[in-house]
């Protein structure tokens, strides 16, 4: 009777770093099993000596003690290595690959130290995972008599870089993944120590087999006589042989003919597993990358409302109405973003259409709150949100990670291109849906207008000019409250004449002092002459109107608290 295969707990270990830091060599040194997409199988990768696509391989170890006590369902711990390309122009691929990892290895060239994409990968790591190990690679290329001091110096510099991130306590492990220096004894230098650290410090990943099946496909290819294989990672739920799945990007359903996990046939796979699904009669050219799911589980959307946080290393302003590259899973599209937040001192920290929000001209970082340009209310940076509108629809599930970048930035500019990130909270499945939801979103701008009291009509009424233009639709403002600079409060009754002047009612009446000031100017014809008299004797009496304008209100009504 055949011996049963060991039950393996799969952990996805991201391998990220600057180009030519030795990521693929490290993956080869660690791995015992390669997938159909591993170790630079792309012909261009082999020709150019760099990784142009995601690579996958694995190695297994005995289940460590700290996981045995909490997970009795497994015999072994399997690390699936997600080898991400390091070239700056492939940032879309890096972001897509990094979204499936549980733990990250940041590979740094021991001679060159931190480089541009090293820092960018560190930003991605801060967004996506909580556990990091820094691998100081190529130490065998440092002359043996200078190696110790050089490694010590580089580790100090790396520790300083990490000190401003959530990874400040992360280990830095020197290795020689691809020996080739003067010291031939360095053949496996540091690699065993790295495996030991990974095994003893591997976190228990969150795995939930319930819910809809969602599968992130990173490679799709045909195998003659068998069908089309889609390799990827289970993001949610589970799948079994003979299940019917949907490929929502092309609106096709297929039955799962067979499955493999690193060349081992399996009958089912769960959240976190790296597998290959085989289906029949499907053209692999229709799905280079994307999502596969339970039938009907994933809609195609044209935008949504997201929680959002600015990346502190992005130095440019993130302006409302600006366009950014929006990455969700393996898809990246252009999208326009509009930001808003809770009012100052508001307890709001979760999004709801029931709440009131303040419009933001830009996205603010948590460390530098600013004053709103239009009023004196300070922007709360405890939580911020955004409306995002895609230029092209994409398939996306609720709570998906959203990353906003400026990928058109010069890759040689030595600056971070990742601007913000967040989670999808509400989807717009089409433009009609967006048009029905947005009017319910109470995002307001505080506005202030000022005019001048031209004359007193009676002790309860004044005529004001310069508050509005003559083409203003006064129906929107009739009934709103105003304040005089002499402390009286009034209500706009309506327009007066055709030049934009308005009649203001003072319910409690004008004070004797205000009446005297207005009467002393006389009842001259023509506002300019009267105002000139006021200017010559005293400051004019100002009329101040404060109101809210709701950005998504189709009727453009003005409201006051």
User: Which residue, 157, 177, 201, sits at the end of a domain?
Assistant: 201
pLDDT of residue 558: 85
- Within 10 Å of residue 285's Cβ, how many Cβ atoms? 10
Asked whether residue 286 falls in the same domain as residue 312, the answer is no
pLDDT of residue 116: 79
Asked whether residue 398 falls in the same domain as residue 523, the answer is no
- Residue 119 is assigned to a structural domain of this protein: yes
Contact 353, 401 (CB under 8 A): no
- Residue 1 is assigned to a structural domain of this protein: no
- Residue 379 is assigned to a structural domain of this protein: yes
Asked whether residue 164 falls in the same domain as residue 44, the answer is yes
Asked whether residue 24 falls in the same domain as residue 65, the answer is yes
Whole-angstrom Cα distance, residue 247 to residue 300? Answer: 11
- Residue 208 is assigned to a structural domain of this protein: no
CATH classification of the domain holding 534: 2.40.10.190
Q: Which residue has the tokens 């940041």?
A: 106
Asked whether residue 64 falls in the same domain as residue 190, the answer is yes
- Residue 488 is assigned to a structural domain of this protein: yes
Asked whether residue 47 falls in the same domain as residue 192, the answer is yes
DSSP class per residue in 112-140: TBS-HHHHHHHHHHHHH-S-EEEEEE-GG
Q: Which residues contact 349 (CB under 8 A, 6 or more apart)?
A: 342, 382, 383
pLDDT of residue 506: 97
pLDDT of residue 44: 36
- Residue 2 is assigned to a structural domain of this protein: no
CATH classification of the domain holding 66: 3.40.50.300
- Residue 206 is assigned to a structural domain of this protein: no
Contact 508, 491 (CB under 8 A): no
Q: How many domains does the chain have?
A: 4
User: Which residue, 142, 168, 201, sits at the end of a domain?
Assistant: 201
Assign 3-state DSSP to the chain and report helix, strand, coil percentages, each to 5.
20, 35, 40
pLDDT of residue 75: 85
Digit-by-digit pLDDT tens for the chain (561 residues) are 445 567 888 899 989 888 888 888 898 899 876 544 443 344 433 333 433 457 888 899 999 988 887 666 788 899 999 888 755 555 666 677 677 789 999 999 999 998 878 888 899 899 988 999 999 999 999 999 999 999 999 999 999 999 999 999 999 999 998 765 444 444 568 899 999 999 999 988 888 888 899 998 988 999 999 999 999 889 899 999 999 999 998 999 999 999 998 888 999 999 888 899 999 999 999 998 889 999 999 999 999 999 999 999 898 999 999 999 999 887 899 999 999 999 887 888 899 999 999 999 999 987 544 434 444 444 446 789 999 999 999 998 888 999 999 988 877 777 888 999 999 999 999 999 999 999 999 999 999 999 999 999 999 999 999 999 999 988 889 999 999 999 999 999 999 988 899 999 999 999 999 998 888 765 544 444 444 444 444 689 999 999 999 999 998 888 887
CATH classification of the domain holding 380: 2.40.30.10
Asked whether residue 227 falls in the same domain as residue 355, the answer is no
Q: Which two tokens stand for residue 390?
A: 């895609």
Helix (H, G, I), strand (E, B) or coil at 333: strand
User: Which residue, 168, 201, 234, sits at the end of a domain?
Assistant: 201
Whole-angstrom Cα distance, residue 170 to residue 309? Answer: 23
- Residue 207 is assigned to a structural domain of this protein: no
Asked whether residue 42 falls in the same domain as residue 184, the answer is yes
pLDDT of residue 179: 60
Contact 491, 440 (CB under 8 A): no
Asked whether residue 346 falls in the same domain as residue 414, the answer is yes
Asked whether residue 180 falls in the same domain as residue 244, the answer is no
pLDDT of residue 393: 93
pLDDT of residue 51: 36
Asked whether residue 130 falls in the same domain as residue 66, the answer is yes
Range of the domain at 283: 214-294
Whole-angstrom Cα distance, residue 45 to residue 53? Answer: 8
- Within 10 Å of residue 510's Cβ, how many Cβ atoms? 24
Asked whether residue 265 falls in the same domain as residue 372, the answer is no
Whole-angstrom Cα distance, residue 332 to residue 6? Answer: 38
């Amino acid at each position: 009777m055949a011996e049963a295969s060991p039950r393996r707990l799969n952990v996805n270990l991201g391998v990220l770093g600057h180009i030519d830091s030795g990521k693929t060599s490290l993956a080869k040194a660690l791995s015992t099993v390669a997938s159909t997409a591993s170790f630079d199988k792309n012909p261009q990768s082999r020709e150019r000596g760099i990784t142009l696509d995601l690579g996958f391989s694995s190695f297994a170890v005995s289940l460590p003690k700290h996981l045995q006590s909490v997970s009795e369902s497994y015999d072994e711990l399997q690390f699936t290595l997600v080898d991400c390309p390091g070239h700056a122009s492939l940032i879309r691929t890096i972001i897509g690959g990094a979204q499936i990892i549980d733990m990250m290895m940041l590979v740094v060239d021991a001679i060159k130290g931190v480089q541009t994409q090293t820092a960018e990968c560190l930003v991605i790591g801060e967004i996506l995972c909580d556990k990091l190990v820094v691998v100081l690679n190529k130490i065998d290329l440092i002359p043996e008599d200078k190696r110790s001091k050089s490694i010590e110096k580089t580790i100090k510099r790396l520790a300083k870089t990490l000190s401003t991130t959530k990874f400040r306590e992360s280990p830095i492990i020197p290795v020689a993944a691809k020996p080739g220096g003067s010291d031939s004894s360095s053949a496996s230098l540091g690699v065993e120590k790295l495996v030991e650290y990974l095994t003893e410090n591997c976190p228990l990943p969150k795995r939930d087999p319930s819910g809809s099946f969602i599968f992130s496909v990173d490679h799709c290819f045909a195998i003659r006589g068998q069908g089309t294989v889609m390799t990827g990672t289970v993001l949610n739920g589970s799948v079994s042989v003979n299940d019917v799945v949907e490929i929502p990007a092309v609106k096709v359903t297929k039955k799962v003919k067979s499955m493999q996990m690193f060349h081992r046939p399996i009958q089912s796979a769960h959240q976190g597993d790296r597998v290959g699904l085989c289906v029949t009669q499907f053209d692999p050219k229709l799905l280079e990358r994307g999502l596969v799911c339970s039938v009907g589980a994933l809609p195609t959307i044209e935008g949504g409302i997201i929680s959002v946080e600015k990346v502190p290393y992005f130095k440019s302003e993130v302006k409302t109405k600006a366009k950014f590259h929006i990455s969700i899973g393996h898809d990246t599209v252009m999208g326009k973003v509009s930001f808003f937040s809770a009012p100052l001192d508001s307890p709001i920290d979760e999004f709801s259409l029931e709440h009131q929000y303040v419009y933001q001209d830009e996205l603010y970082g948590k460390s530098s709150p600013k004053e709103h340009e239009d009023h004196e209310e300070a922007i709360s940076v405890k939580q911020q949100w955004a409306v995002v509108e895609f230029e092209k629809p994409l398939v996306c599930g609720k709570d998906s990670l959203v990353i906003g970048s400026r990928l058109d930035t010069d890759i040689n500019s030595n600056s971070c291109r990742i601007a913000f990130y967040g989670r999808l909270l509400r989807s717009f499945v089409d433009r009609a849906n967006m048009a029905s939801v947005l009017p319910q979103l109470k995002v307001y701008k505080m506005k202030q207008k000022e005019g001048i009291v031209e004359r007193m009509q009676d002790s309860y009424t004044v005529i004001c000019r310069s508050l509005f233009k003559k083409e203003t639709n006064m129906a929107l403002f009739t009934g709103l409250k105003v304040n005089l600079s002499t402390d009286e409060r009034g209500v706009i009754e309506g327009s007066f004449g055709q030049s934009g002047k308005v009649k203001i009612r003072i319910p409690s009446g004008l004070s004797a002092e205000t009446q005297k000031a207005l009467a002393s100017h006389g009842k001259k014809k023509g506002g300019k002459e009267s105002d000139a008299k006021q200017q010559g004797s005293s400051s004019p009496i100002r009329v101040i109107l404060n109101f809210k304008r709701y950005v998504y209100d189709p009727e453009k009504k003005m409201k006051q608290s």
